[in-house]
């Protein structure tokens, strides 16, 4: 089930086109990463998604409700943490949450559940001014999750956190996605965090979505395999491989041949090399990490 649908969205600021027809969807329980350099259009996209600015063209729909037509219904299904959450520092963590609960008519039981979820039970009755940055981020996340939204939007949520704070935050987000079936949209400049946290990632640059790809075990999932063949008989190897029906592309790299071929066809490749008596030193699959894919798609882009 698609919780968020962004369809053919454009945004103009004066004569300048900031967003140029982007489209993507986020499913129930999916953690969706949004990556791109500074000025790529990440913040503008988020501002449209949370209803702060309107699209120039195209639609943004949350739980079947289009923001431009059913703003209140659409946004009622959303929670958001945008960098530093707005909190009343002179109140306790519990008092901050109870303020929101009173406005949204949320039960005390639900408040207690979200306090447990974000691991603030021991400090929830301390004043927020005594909280560390990590605790404030967790309280902000609790405020966003208190109404059990179907969509959670996180904009640079781990900025300024130490490694322990980042790990805690990551665990909470994963739990929310898994247990509450919340769709999570996360924009971050930390490639390592997106790689460890997300199921899917969209690469944006110059207002365009360059690609939307799945992540598995920290690597980009592809519908084709990439195999490296290390051999001293490079010319013969390339000649044989190029003529195989399941091979799509080859290129040389020093004493190796890099081959893109149909998924799960590596055994057939090895059999063909053995059959034609190509002497091979080593054959292994090459997996593409998020950083490598980012640099390939966002050419020369700064990590942001």
Q: Tell me: the pLDDT tens digits for 279-300?
A: 999 998 876 677 777 877 776 5
The ranges assigned to domains in the chain are: 2-219, 223-287
d(CA 260, CA 89): 56
Fold exhibited by the domain 2-219: Rossmann fold (3.40.50)
Give per-residue pLDDT as tens, 39-55: 889 999 999 999 999 99
For residue 81 the two structure tokens come to: 């943490």
For residue 26 the two structure tokens come to: 């986020």
Judged by average pLDDT, the poorest of 43-47, 142-146, 148-152, 224-228 is 224-228
Bridge partners of 62? 4, 65
34, 198 in Cβ contact below 8 A? no
Question: Other CB atoms closer than 10 Å to residue 140's CB: what's the count?
Answer: 23
For residue 30 the two structure tokens come to: 């999916």
**Which residue is associated with the tokens 């004493």?**
255
42, 208 in Cβ contact below 8 A? no
pLDDT at 153: 95
- Is the predicted pLDDT of residue 304 greater than 50, yes or no? no
Average pLDDT over residues 209-221: 76
Give per-residue pLDDT as tens, 245-282: 999 989 888 889 989 888 888 999 999 999 999 999 99
Fold exhibited by the domain 223-287: Alpha-Beta Plaits (3.30.70)
Torsions phi, psi for 184 (to 5 deg) = -115, 125
d(CA 4, CA 17): 23
Q: In 3D, which of 69, 65, 53 has the Cα closest to residue 11? A: 53
81, 141 in Cβ contact below 8 A? yes
Give pTM, 2 decimals. 0.77
d(CA 85, CA 71): 22
- Is the predicted pLDDT of residue 303 greater than 50, yes or no? no
Torsions phi, psi for 254 (to 5 deg) = 55, -115
Average pLDDT over residues 17-30: 95
pLDDT at 175: 86
> Can you give the three-state secondary structure of the chain, one letter per residue?
CEEEEEEEEEEEECCEEEEEEEEEEEECCCEEEEECCCCCCHHHHHHHHCCCCCCCEEEEEECCEECCCCHHHHHCCEEEEECCCCCCCCCEHHHHHHHHHHHHCCCHHHHHHHHHHCCCCCCCCCEHHHCCHHHHHHHHHHHHHCCCCCEEEEECCCCCCCHHHHHHHHHHHHHHHHHCCCEEEEECCCHHHHHHHCCEEEEEECCEEEEEEEEECCEECCCEEEEEEEECCHHHHHHHHHCCCCEEEEEEECCEEEEEEECCCHHHHHHHHHHCCCCEEEEEECCCEHHHHHHHHCCCCCCC
């Amino acid at each position: 089930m698609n919780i968020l649908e962004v369809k053919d969205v454009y945004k103009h600021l004066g004569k300048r086109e900031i967003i140029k027809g982007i489209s993507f969807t986020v499913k129930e329980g999916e953690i969706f990463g949004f990556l791109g350099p500074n000025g790529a259009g990440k913040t503008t996209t988020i501002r449209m998604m949370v209803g702060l600015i309107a699209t120039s063209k195209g639609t943004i729909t949350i739980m079947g409700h289009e923001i431009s037509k059913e703003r209140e219904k659409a946004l009622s299904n959303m929670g958001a943490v945008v960098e530093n959450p707005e909190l009343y520092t002179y109140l306790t963590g519990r008092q901050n949450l109870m303020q929101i609960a009173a406005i949204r008519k949320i039960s005390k039981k639900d408040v207690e559940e979200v306090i447990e979820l974000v691991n603030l039970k021991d400090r929830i009755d301390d004043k927020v001014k005594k909280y560390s940055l990590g605790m404030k981020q967790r309280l902000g996340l609790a405020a966003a999750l208190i109404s059990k939204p179907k969509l959670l939007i996180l904009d640079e949520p781990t900025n300024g956190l130490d490694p322990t704070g980042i790990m805690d935050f990551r665990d909470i987000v994963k739990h929310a996605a898994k247990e509450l079936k919340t769709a999570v949209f996360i924009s971050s400049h930390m490639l390592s965090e997106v790689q460890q946290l997300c199921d899917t990632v969209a690469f944006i640059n110059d207002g365009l979505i360059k690609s939307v790809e799945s992540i598995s075990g920290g690597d980009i999932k592809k519908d084709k395999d990439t195999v490296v063949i290390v051999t001293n008989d490079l010319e013969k190897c390339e000649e044989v491989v190029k003529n195989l029906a399941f091979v799509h592309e080859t290129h040389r790299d020093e004493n190796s041949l890099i081959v893109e071929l149909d998924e799960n066809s590596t055994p057939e490749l090895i059999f063909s090399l053995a059959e034609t008596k190509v002497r091979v030193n080593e054959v292994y699959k090459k997996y593409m990490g998020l950083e490598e894919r980012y640099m390939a798609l966002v050419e020369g882009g700064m990590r942001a």
